[in-house]
Structure 1
Amino acid sequence: MEYGSIEREIHVDATLEVVYEVVSAPRHMAQWWSDEAEFEATPGAVGELAWGNREHVEAMTVVRADPPRLFAFRWSYPDGTADEIADSLLVTFELVPSGSGTLIRLTETGFREMGWAEAKLAQEYGEHVTGWDFYLPRLGEYVTRLVSAP
C-alpha cells in the first residue's frame, strides 16, 4: 500500500463562508471533530486539539488560512510539540462552490515523511483513514444542523 495521502470529499448544502467557519473556527471544530480546540485561524498560529478528558492532546500549527476557500494545518508532531522543522502531517480543507452548496476536499499528507517503521506507518495511516471516514460525515451533519437552526 502507498500510505502517501488520504483524500476525501463531501458535499454540503451551505455557502463557502459557513463551511470555512466550520473547518477553521475552534468553537465549531470542537462540535464535529475534537472535543476541545484552541487556536487562532491565522498562518503561524500554534494551538492544540484534545479528545476525551484531555487523554489525547495534539499540538497543531495553522499553515494557510485563505477565507473562504482553504484552511490547512500541521499536526501529529513526533514529541507532541509544534515545531517548524519536525516532521508532521498536513491537513488541508479545500472548499469549492458546487451547485447550491460547497464541496469539501480533505487531504492529509506526510505519512511517509514521518520516518515510521512500516508497521507503525500502516497502523497510523489506517487509524487516520478510519478517523476521517468517521469525522468527515460528522462535519457534514454539523453543517446541516447549523444552517437549519432558526
Structure 2
Amino acid sequence: MEHGTIEREIHIDARPEVVFDVVSSPQHLREWWPDEAEYPVEPGGEGRIAFGGSWVRLTVVDAIPPRHFSFRWTHADGETAAPGNSFLVVFELEPDGTGTRLRMTETGFRERGWDEAKIAAEHADHVSGWDHFLSRLPTYATKVAGATP
C-alpha cells in the first residue's frame, strides 16, 4: 500500500460558499474536526488546532472562496511550515447539482524523512482520523446551510 497521500471525495448538500466556510473558518472547523481552532483565514495565516488538549501548529496556504482552501499542519514551534516538516491538506470544492463535491487530499508523509514503519503508522493514523471526522462534515454543513438565509 502506498502511504504518501490520502484522498477522499464526498458530496455535501450545501452550496460551495457554505462548505468553504465550514472547512476554513475556525468557528465551524471546531464543530466537526478539532476540539479547538484559532488562526486567520488568509494565506500565510498562522495559528493552531487542538485535539484532546494537545495543540498542533497550522499555517494557511491558500484561501480562495468558494473553491479552494489549503493548509500545512503539524510543523514544530519556531519552524515555518514547508514541505519536509508538515503535512499539506487541500480542500477543493466544486458545484455538484444543488450541492458541492468536496475533494480532500493530505500529502507530506514521505517528505518528513521518516523510516517506512513511521510513515505507515502516521498514514494509518491520519486515514483513521479523516475517515472519522470527514463523515461528520456533510451533516454539519447541511445544518449550517439550513441556518443560512
What's the TM-score bracket when you normalise by the shorter of the two chains? Answer: over 0.9
Q: Distance in 1 between matches of 2:78 and 2:106?
A: 19
Q: Is the contact made by 1:35 and 1:51 (CA closer than 8 Å) also made in structure 2?
A: yes
* Residue aligned with 1:147, SS: helix
Shift of 1:84: 3.8
* Residue aligned with 1:71, SS: strand
Count of equivalent residues:
147
Choose the corresponding residue for 2:121, options 116, 120, 123.
123
Q: Is the contact made by 2:66 and 2:93 (CA closer than 8 Å) also made in structure 1?
A: yes
Q: Distance in 2 between matches of 1:8 and 1:82?
A: 29
Shift of 1:146: 1.8
In the alignment, which residue of structure 1 is the partner of 2:109? 111
Correspondences of 1:129-140 after superposition (within 5 Å): 129-140=127-138
Note closer, same or farther for the CA distance 1:67–1:149 as it changes in structure 2 (3 Å cut).
closer
TM-score, structure 2 length as denominator?
A: 0.93
Deviations 1:15-55 (A, max 9, x none): 11000000010000000000100001100010000012x2x
1:83 equivalent in alignment to 2:80:
yes
Q: Distance in 1 between matches of 2:120 and 2:100?
A: 32
TM-score, structure 1 length as denominator?
A: 0.92
Percent of paired sites with the same residue: 52
Note closer, same or farther for the CA distance 1:2–1:50 as it changes in structure 2 (3 Å cut).
same
Q: Distance in 1 between matches of 2:79 and 2:50?
A: 14
* Residue aligned with 2:129, SS: helix
Shift of 1:76: 1.7
* Residue aligned with 2:49, SS: strand
Deviations 1:48-68 (A, max 9, x none): 00012x2x2110100001011
Specify every segment of 5 or more residues in structure 1 that has no aligned partner in the other structure, as ranges: none
Note closer, same or farther for the CA distance 1:36–1:81 as it changes in structure 2 (3 Å cut).
farther
Deviations 1:59-102 (A, max 9, x none): 0100001011000000022x355514452100000001101100
Q: Is the contact made by 1:59 and 1:81 (CA closer than 8 Å) also made in structure 2?
A: no
Q: Distance in 2 between matches of 1:46 and 1:25?
A: 13
